[in-house]
Homo-oligomer: A and B are copies of this chain.
Amino acid sequence: MGRNKLVMKKIEDPISRQQFYSKRKDTILKKSNELAVLCDTDVALLMFSPAGQVTSYSSKESVEDIMVRAMNKSVNQRYYKPQVENISSVQEAEAYAQFLRSNMEQIQQSKAKLLGVQGFLQRNEYPAVNTEDTAAAGKLCLLHQGSDLREAVAC
């Protein structure tokens, strides 16, 4: 959009990349919300900024609950249907393989990870993490009224 057409390739300049992220993130949040409200359905969204900041959105339930519910459906239905346009065959195949793999271990892994997290809390420690990767984190919430945008930030 805009003056020039978009090129589907990673933006190399860090500054431009971050600026691009900030703008697009808002649009996706807005559209996700429109979908959830107009269709009265559950939508969950998680986005990591180039710096590692996490932005989440969930319509009714929490992101976790929506994911868990979707997970159950997927597992019970036992099928995966990629529905993203502009995706190469290779990517699609990889996505499918990835889904199957995670499907087989998702429960065990999630459990293990959560237990690991719990351990950190109990010991009051922070895990060693890649700075760039974990610039920020978070969980919850929101607010902002009076405008058409409510936002919750947890850093």
Contact = CB atoms under 8 A, between A and B. Distances in A.
Given A43-B45, A58-B141, A149-B150, 6 more contacts: A44-B44, A54-B74, A62-B139, A62-B141, A107-B117, A139-B139
A43 to B, nearest CB: 5
Contacts of A71: 64, 117, 139
Contacts of A121: 72, 75-76, 107
Interface in A12-65: 17, 20-21, 24-50, 52-65
Contacts of A85: 26, 29-30, 33, 144
Task: Tell me the number of copies of this protein.
Answer: 2
5 contacts: A29-B85, A69-B129, A75-B139, A76-B126, A82-B153
Given A10-B37, A145-B87, A153 B152 contact: yes
A65 B129 contact: yes
Interface residues of A, number: 119
A152 B145 contact: no
Contacts of A149: 29-30, 33, 147-151
A82 to B, nearest CB: 6
Contacts of A66: 46, 48
A81 B137 CA distance: 11
A73 to B, nearest CB: 2
Contacts of A88: 145
A34 B6 contact: yes
A20 B81 CA distance: 20
